[in-house]
Amino acid sequence: MASPAGPEIERLIRLLARLPGLGPRSARRAALALVKRRESLLSPLAEAMAEVSDRVRICSVCGNADTSDPCAICADSTRDASILVVVADVSDLWALERAGAVQARYHVLGGVLSALDGVRPEDLNLPNLRARVADDGVREVILALNATVDGQTTAHYITSLLADLPVRITRLAHGVPVGGELDYLDDGTLTAAIRQRGDV
Judged by the rule CB under 8 A, the positions of this chain that interact with a second copy are 1-2, 4-6, 8-9, 11-12, 15-16, 18-22, 26, 28-36, 38, 41-46, 48-53, 55-56, 65-67, 72-73, 89-91, 93-94, 97-98, 100
What Cα–Cα distance (Å) separates residue 107 from each residue in 76, 89, 93, 121? 15, 9, 9, 15
| Closest distance of CB 199 from a second copy, Å | 32
Cβ distance 119 to 73 under 8 Å? no
| Closest distance of CB 102 from a second copy, Å | 12
Closer residue to a second copy, CB minimum distance, 28 or 143:
28
Closer residue to a second copy, CB minimum distance, 49 or 165:
49
Closer residue to a second copy, CB minimum distance, 53 or 160:
53
Work out the number of other CB atoms within 10 angstroms of the CB of residue 78: 6
| Closest distance of CB 36 from a second copy, Å | 8
Task: Please state, in angstroms and rounded to a whole number, the distance separating the CA atoms of residues 123 and 106.
Answer: 18
Residues 6+ apart with CB under 8 A from 184: none
| Closest distance of CB 182 from a second copy, Å | 26
Cβ distance 176 to 189 under 8 Å? yes
Closer residue to a second copy, CB minimum distance, 45 or 165:
45
Torsion of the alpha carbons at 92, 87, 50 and 21, rounded to the nearest 10: -50
Closer residue to a second copy, CB minimum distance, 21 or 198:
21
What Cα–Cα distance (Å) separates residue 18 from each residue in 13, 21, 89, 110? 9, 9, 19, 19
| Closest distance of CB 55 from a second copy, Å | 6
